[in-house]
Amino acid sequence: MTLPRTVTVPRSTGSKPNDFAIRNLGACTHESVIADVSKDHGQTPRFVDDQARILFDDRIASVSAVDDPTRLPALELAGPRHKLFFDPSETRIGIVTCGGLCPGLNDVIRGLVMQAYYRYGVRRIYGFRYGYRGFIGEYGDDPLILEPEMVSEIHETGGSILASSRGKQDTVRIVDCLERYAIGMLFTIGGDGTLRGALDIGREVDKRGLRIAIIGIPKTIDNDIQYIDQSFGYETAYGQAVEAIVGAHNEARGTLNGIGLVKVMGRHSGFLACHAALATSHVNFVIIPEMPIGATFVSNFMQALRDRLTRRHHAVILVAEGAGQAYLQSEDSETDASGNIKLEDIGRFLADHIHAYLDDTDMEYSLKYIDPSYILRSVPASPADSVYCWQLAQNAVHAAMAGKTELVVGKWHGRLVHVPIRQAIAGRKQVDPQSDLWLSVLETTGQPAVFE
């Protein structure tokens, strides 16, 4: 089986703010098979028109400020289309998971397979192993043939049955592999780096005149992908963080001037730390990457901690892994396989300074440092996350079958939408110091906004 060629697809030359136009591989000429499947089950399919949109800014003030609301930035609604670009009976699918683990990976894989197999009748689905390196033949990682029986129970376990890896691979060789297996649509499940890789793959596909839909399903427990309300697995992760915080709180209250110090993930964004803190109300200090940390931070923070111990005789500190890195790192800091600078251990840094500070006082204290980071990302998805993963998978298949490409599926204002990959990776979502979220954290903990 060979892939059709010589298709001309317009490509955006840049990423303008709020430019949410979705690329399409061409005209959709095949009748949707979903209508037939739905009819067999006594259902009426709910098709979505390409013109259906969700406003980027849904506030009344933003709408009333313009003469023509239809010209406002808006995101395309996800869902099944009346017409398909691909003939499902002739289509082959590839699935890959990249980067670190995240709750819900297996749920998404299972959802993609079940949706493609049962709703569209696709019979050849490949799972490429160990991330993008799975496309490179010399590693010897032959793809798995994914069928419903194989994936039927994988959502009950954490991790990914396809495993994962970090690091950039040769895009030309990746597309060579897609051609070799006659892949018509590729689903990439991963974070910022994975999506950048997906966009590179799309460019190489265009260069060769191939028609391959590239669909991303954004994965990050840091919840830092733009134009997505919430990433899958995020709720599960901060739910697990809550358990660690409860343990730290119990430890802190179990002794005079007890201190529970918990480090959670969050390289550039502190959403997980913020929501975990709010979910327990046990945390007294939250330190996130968005906070300025300089030369006076240590002395000011230590004084605030000692004041807290003097008043209440226990304290719980929650710190995101990426906090204070500009202060901690040096010019010769190492990088990982993806090119990210390896983080210094902000938790150990704080623990060492707490010991040094309080050891010089006459205050009796006990410090417990808890780092549950890898537990947070490797557990099975919560029921709510499982539902979300299933919805993402369903709508990712709908989008690909309609010939849409270079997009991610996510929720915006609670509705499932298509976001161009170029926009999703154009920046990073971070905690706004003026947002309701951060103000809620400050109110709950009682801490100062900064320690400078």
Q: What is the pLDDT of residues 161-175, one digit of tens each?
A: 999 988 889 999 999
Range of the domain at 216: 23-231+381-424
| pLDDT class of 91 with cuts at 50, 70, 90 | very high
Residue 34 shares a structural domain with residue 155: yes
Q: Given 222, 371, 432, 436, which residue is catalytic?
A: 222
What's the CATH number where 102 sits? 3.40.50.450
Whether 33 shows a pLDDT value over 70: the answer reads yes
Q: Quote helix, strand, coil % in the chain, to nearest 5.
A: 40, 15, 45
Half-sphere exposure of 144 (CA within 13 A, CB side): 18
Residue 108 shares a structural domain with residue 249: no
Please state the pTM of the whole predicted model. 0.91
The predicted-structure confidence for 290-302, as pLDDT tens digits, reads as follows: 998 888 999 999 9
Mean pLDDT score of the chain: 91
pLDDT at 403: 98
d(CA 205, CA 202): 5
Residue 15 located in a structural domain:
no
What's the CATH number where 288 sits? 3.40.50.460
Q: Are 111 and 395 in contact (CB under 8 A)?
A: no
- CA–chain centroid gap for 37, Å, is 32
Residue 412 shares a structural domain with residue 351: no
Residue 404 located in a structural domain:
yes
Structure token digits, residue 405: 């490409």
The predicted-structure confidence for 112-155, as pLDDT tens digits, reads as follows: 999 999 999 999 999 999 999 999 989 989 999 999 999 999 99
Residue 332 located in a structural domain:
yes
Residue 372 shares a structural domain with residue 394: no
What are the residue ranges of helices labelled H in 47-191?
A: 60-64, 105-114, 148-151, 171-180
Which stretches does DSSP call E strand in 247-297?
258-264, 285-287
Residue 157 shares a structural domain with residue 270: no
Buried b (16+ CB within 10 A) or exposed e, 425-438: beeebbbeeeeeeb
Residue 144 shares a structural domain with residue 107: yes
Residue 39 located in a structural domain:
yes
Residue 300 located in a structural domain:
yes
Residue 241 shares a structural domain with residue 216: no
Residue 440 located in a structural domain:
no
Residue 81 shares a structural domain with residue 39: yes
Half-sphere exposure of 432 (CA within 13 A, CB side): 5
Q: Which of 360, 376, 392 is the last residue of a domain?
A: 376
Residue 243 shares a structural domain with residue 220: no
Whether 268 shows a pLDDT value over 90: the answer reads yes
d(CA 286, CA 279): 13
d(CA 339, CA 337): 6
Radius of gyration of the chain (CA): 24
How many domains does the chain contain in total?
Answer: 2
Residue 436 located in a structural domain:
no
Averaged pLDDT for residues 186-207: 96
* 222: annotated active-site residue: yes
The predicted-structure confidence for 400-443, as pLDDT tens digits, reads as follows: 999 999 999 999 999 999 999 999 999 999 999 999 999 999 99
Closest to 154 in 3D by CA, of 111, 107, 102: 107
Q: Which of 313, 344, 376 is the last residue of a domain?
A: 376
The count of residues in the chain is 452
Residue 369 shares a structural domain with residue 400: no
Residue 152 shares a structural domain with residue 243: no
The predicted-structure confidence for 220-243, as pLDDT tens digits, reads as follows: 999 999 999 999 999 999 999 999
Q: Which of 353, 376, 399 is the last residue of a domain?
A: 376
Residue 215 shares a structural domain with residue 319: no
Q: How many CB atoms lie within 10 A of CB 399?
A: 27
